[in-house]
Chains A and B, each alone.
Chain A
């Protein structure tokens, strides 16, 4: 009787108590997650209390971070926010925009609109370094051009610089109307004019990718990388520029494998309910030997060692971050040896050094058909010096391969001069 009366007279009080009390109790009960696969970062854990950390205001800050990171149903709340954003008619969420044909694009505005105000904290992942204006970081871009030119002057051999366009750079017409995103064709053209060196040549990737986009999917709808086929288009353009023989997709057809259901990094940001998963393609190319930083094992984020048996960490194809399967993710120095090369000459070993961001990971396997040894270096996880690698080994070619979005903000590119 009494409950009925309360229900009738105080329904809001009851509802509110139920929702808040329920979430409060659930939040208290659930155990902590160590890692967020969606965010690619470790989640904050309950901080240990000490008087010192309290007085230094560290404890309260850490505690709030922990409450936020470990809130019950965190992932579902994020999805729910994305739904509300769509209901409000927004075509963007968490820094990515919804383009035509269900492509998700990076929002990176024209530098004429203002200055990038990213602070120097790096990709710390605590949300504090989100810039007010997602605009091309002209200052970092300028520094990176200088680093590249310095490298090209000091290294006597031939260098190819290739800046790959991102999905919105290949298909700017797919962007929402009016969005003042940077014009990558113009921006990359300008970069190429600034790159200098007698032995340096630049490689146009926009034209071949745009042309190929009519026949195949060259960028992912939900991820910031180019597709493996897109990478092949880049590979062909590179080989043509160096007058090297290259492997065709017809020849590779027997090795072609498809992994459907790939939702990439752009999806992780937007979490839009109507995202259309991509299919990730890889080619099971035979190789003789792959080492990472000289070893046949590679260290994982959780501290375990994984054996390196080929070009791909195959178990990653089954998890969310499928792209991490290529070359076992972004590692320092990967050396691939194979008998695939079409340019092989008896008694000689041809070598290429690729200095790359993650765009190089699905690209490098194709190079085994054009060089005997493919050396792949990632400046962001470097345990070596570029100058030392170049001094100790003879390379026929050096290829610097970055995508535009990474190149304009990467703070590790200076290491190319180390």
Chain B
């Protein structure tokens, strides 16, 4: 019964995204080389495999965790080594900043049948990328533990804190909360979520000048620290992998985790039976009385290089379109991600991401200098999390580190 209602909710939430044109596309023939660079996880492998099906010319794919270190260099030459880079909303910025990807409007008009309007990433009126999957962090909880503690699924981070205290006091778990708080990118991501949840603005409007050293920034840090008190003391070394492992081992009762990680948590082959049975997905939480969920929406998509011949660009576009062809969404590919592709049927592991979209969560900012702030946050708020300095000092440090970096990149004078 509950499952059916959930499915209905999900379907309608996803339907909001959708404005389908129509799907077509089988038999993919290309006449020039295609070379893809991208990150390394199953959903991206599935897309690259689809591109490789194309006949007529060679399709190469270099999928590696180091993709961000090589994609700009590999697309800067003329002709570029890579004709397509698979990126996300945070990483498209580097390609835009270095001016190595081309507008796709003409190719979309010619070969873009079946693309939904929301798949087109437009910057300044030009289509620069085609999105194929979405992701977001949201609440996951263990229904059995919450039941034993006599609490309901938290709607806000304040409730989560209170719940954690009850679980700990009742002796149900030593460290009831989990989270990807690893120093660096992960911790900065959690700050970003929480700061958005508090309604904060990262920059003075229309400029690259940072402004996080304010009451909202302090509240954000205080909340992160309060949560970390209920986490495994090693939390600063826990990335998503380690946090998922803690969850699977049954050590954690509540956490804010990526939607893309839910499948494995609920897979009986990968986790202990009790954990699988009681792992329940919740909506993203809000914080500080705000209505915007403290999470960010993400998309992954592909781009086409600028410094290649038009024939190569066309071949690349066709091959990548085949990679995200709705016909390829079979039982194997379907559960790999929250696909933005026509014909995607959300499963029980996808309700959290759908909820984030429904609750009007804010997409991770696609700003040229957001990455610099992210790096600065990742290294400078660590001291605060360890109790070595106060929140205001930490935020001042972040601003100083960001300003030095932004000056170097020419964003600030």
Co-complex (A, B): no
